Amino acid sequence: MQIYLPIAEMSVDPFVIVMMGGAVGFLSGMFGVGGGFLMTPLLIFYGIPPAVAVGTEASQVLAASVSGVAAHLRRKTVDFLMGGFLVLGGSAGVLIGILVFRYLRSIGQVEIFISLTYVVFLGIIGVVMLIESAQAVLRPRGYKKRRRKHRSVEWMTALPFAMRFRRSGLYISPIPPIILGFFVGVLAAIMGIGGGFIMVPVMLYILNMPTNVVVGTSLFQIIFVTAITTILHAAANQTVDIILALLLLTGGALGAQLGARAGVKLKAEHLRALLALIVLAVCAKLMIDLVTQPVSPFMIEATS
């Protein structure tokens, strides 16, 4: 059975799309990541136009983040003030990203730009994760990891408009969170991701936010940033396919539950190593597709 996707302008097997959503949802539940940086390349591999893959995946990340934030709201692990400044910067970043996306699409370069962006980011993320997990696996038994030292935030306190973020226990300027949100907003518009895989480490190691509020605050800003991204992609670029998004969500919701159960049975370092290998495999496939000749290249001929 085939279903026609009106925005992508192609027919797909709904079972395959649901299975793809389930596979990425399984990985998301197992590894605790959003999965957007894996889903968009998989949609491109399947034949979905990159512009539609980016716009539609943003809507799926939005829906997945809403359910995640609900749990953190009950635990009171969301810093709304910090999240507000991240959203402020992210909104501006999305606007710039949409303009860049639209320009690249108008000159016919959006597909190669998306692929190159994913190759760079997936390559960096995969290598860093693989090195970290390999070091963890090779450590001798009984090794105790040193407690991470609290890095100074004096430079952020010295910036203008310093204020207190009570939930995070910080007294810093809102300028660094706004800049961070802006950068993630640009990536969300161009790559169709939530940006959590960048946001969380930066919030931990640069903003020095407590671990217990980092994930909830990151998901909080992702909701608004991906919502704006989805609306602008739908209005300005017409690249959000709601049927494709519903199929992905169906599979993702089921896969995430199974992945969460499977994740508790594996060690953390083994999980990171496995995810790193998956990320590098996707990166390699994108790189190969960039440098090899298409199976059916287009030909231009003059007609009378």
- Which H helix or E strand runs over 156? helix 154-157
- The model's pTM: 0.72
Which residues are 10's β-sheet partners? 5
In the numeric block, the tokens 């990425």 are attached to: 24
Is-contact 6 243, C-beta < 8 A? Answer: yes
Q: What is the mean pLDDT of residues 49-59?
A: 80
Q: What is the mean pLDDT of residues 238-256?
A: 80
Report the domain count for the chain. Answer: 1
Residue 30 domain boundaries? 3-136+152-289
Residue 257 binned pLDDT confidence (cut-offs 50, 70, 90): low
Which range has highest mean pLDDT (65-74, 255-264, 277-286)? 277-286
| Of the candidate ranges 141-145, 177-181, 194-198, 205-209, the one whose mean pLDDT is the lowest | 141-145
Is-contact 119 205, C-beta < 8 A? Answer: no
What share of the chain has pLDDT > 90, as a percent? 3
Give domain status of residue 87, yes or no: yes
pLDDT of residue 201 exceeding 80: no
| CA proximity to 17, closest of 55, 58, 60 | 60
Q: Tell me phi and psi for residue 135, to 5 degrees.
A: -65, -40
Per DSSP, 176 falls in state H
pLDDT of residue 79 exceeding 70: yes
Q: What are the Cα distances from residue 50, in Å, to 129, 187, 264?
A: 26, 15, 34
Give domain status of residue 295, yes or no: no
Give domain status of residue 147, yes or no: no
Q: What is the mean pLDDT of residues 36-60?
A: 80
Identify the pLDDT of residue 241: 84
- Which H helix or E strand runs over 165? strand 163-165
pLDDT of residue 26 exceeding 70: yes
pLDDT of residue 84 exceeding 50: yes
Which residues are 145's β-sheet partners? none
Give domain status of residue 304, yes or no: no
Give domain status of residue 51, yes or no: yes
Q: What are the Cα distances from residue 167, in Å, to 3, 76, 200, 213?
A: 47, 9, 16, 8
Mean pLDDT of the chain: 77
Give domain status of residue 143, yes or no: no
CB atoms within 10 A of CB 71: 12
For 259-271, the DSSP string reads: HHHHHTTS-HHHH
Residue 147 binned pLDDT confidence (cut-offs 50, 70, 90): very low
